[in-house]
Amino acid sequence: MKFRNFKLVGYVIYGRGSFNQLDEILSPNRKGDHPMVFLVDHFFEGKELVNRIPVRGNDQVVFVDVTYEPKTTYVDSLASKFKNEFGTVSGVIGIGGGSAMDLAKAVSLMMTNPGSSADYQGWDLVKVPGVYKAGIPTLSGTGAEVSRTTVLTGPTRKLGMNSDFTPFDQIVLDPELTANAPVNQRFYTGMDCYIHCIESLQGTYLNEFSRSYGEKALELCRNVFVQQDEWAANSDDQLMMASYAGGMSIAYSQVGVAHAVSYGLSYLLGTKHGIGNCIVFDKLEEYYPEGVKEFRLMVNKNKIDIPQHITKGLAEDDFNKMIDVSLGMKPLWENALGKDWEKKITREKLRQLYGTL
Amino acid sequence: MKFRNFKLVGYVIYGRGSFNQLDEILSPNRKGDHPMVFLVDHFFEGKELVNRIPVRGNDQVVFVDVTYEPKTTYVDSLASKFKNEFGTVSGVIGIGGGSAMDLAKAVSLMMTNPGSSADYQGWDLVKVPGVYKAGIPTLSGTGAEVSRTTVLTGPTRKLGMNSDFTPFDQIVLDPELTANAPVNQRFYTGMDCYIHCIESLQGTYLNEFSRSYGEKALELCRNVFVQQDEWAANSDDQLMMASYAGGMSIAYSQVGVAHAVSYGLSYLLGTKHGIGNCIVFDKLEEYYPEGVKEFRLMVNKNKIDIPQHITKGLAEDDFNKMIDVSLGMKPLWENALGKDWEKKITREKLRQLYGTL
């Protein structure tokens, strides 16, 4: 058996108010007159946080549209723009949820790697380090802050630039930044972590490294969404660590049925990752009976709306596309159902499941 | 308030048998004809593990004497020897417990930094990266695999080379390597982790980052030493993760009374860190009542000998030296007892405590 040699992020700073140290952190990474580029979730346009970004010289603050998950065309156009304007940049800083962070990772890599980001969708295709990159989550649960991928929708597929050059050089984990997230969004993104943990801990791939991170992440999610009746003083702190630990647990684990099915939704309908997983997981009693029970408890307790009937009225052709995408996620199915997964999940069964969403 | 920006190790590989991937891992880090130097705990001399080290070309396997914790003179002499013989080396690989790993980190740094390692005992005095370095623990509990220090006994003090250049570029966590550790040694080293967690979780410095790692490490220690009656199939796996998590929890926490007192023992008597902490912790009911109760349960359950009366017959002058060293560990005392610690721990009180050891 071969184990993955897992590349970690370079530096981590954690603490309430640690965002205030950003100027000092970036300073030694500035290269001459080349700007730092801050890719900021458009949610923050006009908000207080923007005034706290340590802009110096010709630094750029770019509000990025994350209505949909990042596309390779968007990555390429941002990278081209910065190359045309500045030759190169000192670094790319992603401030936001998983989409803004993934975008920052991808743009950093495309400042130095030739061609289109679509050429690098896959595993270990990136051969040259990108420019300095930092990730600053303002939503907890995606794990994008520690992952070695950046999920992109390309011309032919949704797939990440998975490589040892992908992880951030620096992450800033400041729980104060997540305090004003909309309640539904905060829940969906938190569930990205929760569902991931349920899938990986019940999966057939797993070792003690990933188990210990996954268990801790799950415990922290439960502290936040199950054990307490209101959002507590330390809930943002705990959920931020849940996200980090959940992301680390990826090293030797894999997700399962919810992710495999929700990829189909996101491919066809553009459903975002967090909410898509919630929509699917809600219907997975057969596969994760205890997890789904607890999930519904959390939904009710936190007064969250899970969209229903989103596949109603789709053509058979559309269902087939989703089924194709989903069945293509072989490692996820194998992790969830074992080596003989193909006997256990048929097109008919998947068609039925998609029909309930 | 200022938060530490914590440098992580570069790569981590975890898994039973992952040591077999060492050749492949080192290969891209070889620089021309310059050898890899393996600093191996002398415990392994003549043992099977030595034959599995992927020696190539003029690679060196050096058995290091870790009867006592590493001295700056030992670090300097090893670095000089390699510089004289090879100009430089491709990398330094530490295989063993905390001493062998700390030695490897220090020798790596002294291949490129001028002067003596004693010049760098302190915080952020190292200004130049060392050569490539990797750590491979064969004992679990020290946390040396992830720390940003290397504890050295110098001409005037016992203090680490704390710096961002100190963490390993690579760690290989293979639980099979710890399987044959002597039972007492395994316990003492495991308790290094347990005691650290008790001290940091009860301390006044702490945030959610360190709390979540510390809680997980403590839980894993309890799984191994409290919950089960025999060393189980996955005990080595769990204790290795406990050590890793315990080491990570250091980022935003501090140790306490046991460490502060045991530093005195180790300075005067050369008592090694793991066993020294056990000897001291056993007498700390006043400070950690529940932890000490559980510690004694673990000692009995695992049939471990904790040395007694090791300070018997020492001169008053010796006690004073230990008290001086211990009271010098200001942050440890402050973490344990609060800002007004000096009112709570007097020389008399410490003298009495040392007398019971």
Chain-chain contact of A9 with B8 (C-beta, under 8 angstroms): yes
Kindly state whether B233 is in contact with chain A, defined as any CB-CB distance less than 8 angstroms. no
Give percent of chain A above pLDDT 70. 100
A218 CA to chain B: closest CA distance, Å?
A: 12
Which whole number is the average pLDDT over A284-296?
A: 97
Confidence of residue B186 (pLDDT cuts 50, 70, 90): very high
Share of chain A above pLDDT 90, in %: 91
Interface contact flag, A8 B8, Cβ < 8 Å? yes
- pLDDT at residue B159 above 90? no
Cα separation of B250 and A80, whole Å?
42
State the nearest Cα–Cα gap between A331 and chain B, in angstroms.
19
The pLDDT, as a whole number, for residue B107 is 98
Cross-chain residue pair A209–B241, CB shorter than 8 Å: yes
Interface mutation target, options A21, A25, A208, chain B, most CBs of B under 10 Å:
A208
**Per-residue model confidence (pLDDT) at position B69:** 85
Nearest-CA residue of chain A relative to B13?
Answer: A5
Whether B306 and chain A come into contact, CB under 8 Å, resolves to no
pLDDT at A1 over 70: no
Mean pLDDT of B147-155: 91
Residue B48 has pLDDT above 70, yes or no: yes
- The token duo for A256 is 């399962």
Whether B354 has a pLDDT exceeding 90, the answer reads yes
Closest residue in B to A18 (Cα–Cα): B3
For A239-293, the DSSP string reads: HHHHHHHHHHHGGG----HHHHHHHHHHHHH---HHHHHHHHHTT-TTT-HHHHH
Residues from chain A that touch B220, judged by Cβ atoms under 8 A, are 212
User: What chain A residue is nearest to B167 in terms of C-alpha separation?
Assistant: A10
CA B41 to chain centre: 14
| Binary contact (B8, A10; C-beta < 8 A) | yes
Contact residues, B window 8-67, toward A, CB-based 8 Å cutoff:
8-18, 21, 25
pLDDT tier for residue B156 given thresholds of 50, 70 and 90? confident
Residue A11 and residue B13: Cβ atoms within 8 Å?
no
How far is CA A67 from its chain centroid?
14
CB contact under 8 A, A5 and B12: yes
Indicate which of B7, B14, B168 best probes the interface with A, i.e. most A CBs within 10 Å of its own CB.
B14
Residues of A with Cβ-Cβ distance to B6 under 8 angstroms: 11-14
Q: Please tell me the predicted confidence (pLDDT) of residue A248.
A: 96
Task: Give the pLDDT mean for B26-35.
Answer: 97
**Rounded average pLDDT over B16-30:** 97
- Give residue A3's pLDDT: 94
Tell me the average pLDDT across B231-246: 96
Query: Using CA atoms, how far apart are residues B175 and B180, in angstroms rounded to an integer?
Result: 10
User: What is the tens place of the pLDDT at every residue in B258-276?
Assistant: 999 999 999 899 899 999 9
> What's the confidence (pLDDT) of residue A229?
87
**DSSP secondary structure string for all residues of B5-25:** -EEPPSEEEESTTGGGGHHHH
% of residues, chain B, pLDDT over 90: 90
Which of the four pLDDT bands, split at 50, 70 and 90, describes residue B1? low
Does residue B111 have a pLDDT over 60?
A: yes
pLDDT 10s digits, A182-238: 999 999 999 999 999 999 999 888 899 999 999 999 999 999 999 998 899 899 999
Residues of A in contact with B134 (CB under 8 A): none
Question: Does the pLDDT value for residue A157 go beyond 90?
Answer: no
What is the residue whose two structure tokens read 């349920």? A198
Token pair of A42 as six digits: 């458009």
Q: What is the pLDDT of residue A324?
A: 94
The stretch B226-245 carries a mean pLDDT of: 95
* pLDDT 10s digits, A7-29: 999 999 999 999 999 999 999 99
Condensed to tens digits (0 to 9), the pLDDT of residues A39-89 reads 999 999 999 999 999 999 999 999 999 988 899 999 999 999 999 999 999
